[in-house]
């Protein structure tokens, strides 16, 4: 019997850890003076979009594709002035969110 690699989605335990990542990430964005102005007043839609995107990206349900089509990340983010500082803030918040969600190795490295 051959080895079948698990998806990140399977390695982290499904949807609940993805929701924890998204919640922790947006808790940080809410108070970030660089990133917060890039988002609408209500963060409900961006939270859902990120949640669905991460589910699909990690190898889980493809609901993002079904609801929103191809991610087209470049096109969707083109209107925003994402400079090095904004990139660094986003990455710091996402890495902290992964930590807060308790994502284990080897999923962290994939």
Determine, yes or no, domain membership for 52. yes
> Lowest mean pLDDT: which of 21-30, 32-41, 61-70?
61-70
Q: Output the pTM of the full model.
A: 0.88
Is residue 17 domain-resident?
Answer: yes
Residue 58 lies inside a defined structural domain of this protein: yes
**Non-local CB neighbours of 58 within 8 Å, separated by 6+ positions:** 7, 8, 9, 12, 18
pLDDT at residue 16 above 60?
Answer: yes
pLDDT digit string, tens, across residues 76-101: 777 788 999 999 999 999 999 999 99
Report the CATH number at residue 89: 1.10.490.10
- Please report the pLDDT score of residue 5 as a whole number: 64
Give yes or no for residue 73 having a pLDDT over 60. yes
Q: What's the structural domain count of the chain?
A: 1
Confidence of residue 70 (pLDDT cuts 50, 70, 90): confident
Determine the pLDDT at residue 51: 98
Tell me which residue range forms the domain holding 92: 8-105
Residue 68 counted as domain residue:
yes
Chain centre distance of CA 40? 17
Distance from C-alpha of 29 to C-alpha of 7, rounded to nearest angstrom: 27
User: So what's the pLDDT on residue 1?
Assistant: 53
Q: Is residue 1 part of a domain?
A: no
CA distance 80 to 8: 29
Q: Is residue 110 part of a domain?
A: no
Residue 3 domain-assigned (yes or no): no
Per-residue pLDDT, 106 = 84
Crossing angle of helices 15-30/44-57, nearest 10°? 140
Q: Report the distance separating Cα 37 and Cα 79, nearest Å.
A: 13
Q: Identify whether 39 is part of a domain.
A: yes
Q: How many residues does this entry show for the chain?
A: 110
């Amino acid at each position: 019997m051959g080895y079948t690699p698990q998806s990140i989605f399977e390695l982290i335990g499904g949807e609940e850890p993805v929701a924890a990542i998204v919640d922790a990430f947006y808790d940080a964005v809410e108070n970030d003076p660089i990133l917060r102005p890039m988002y609408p007043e209500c963060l409900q839609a961006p939270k859902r979009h990120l949640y669905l995107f991460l589910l699909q990206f990690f190898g889980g349900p493809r609901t993002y594709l079904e609801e929103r089509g191809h991610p087209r990340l470049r096109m969707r983010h083109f209107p925003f002035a994402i400079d090095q500082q904004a990139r660094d803030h986003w990455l710091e918040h996402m890495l902290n969110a992964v930590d807060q969600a308790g994502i284990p190795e080897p999923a962290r490295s994939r």
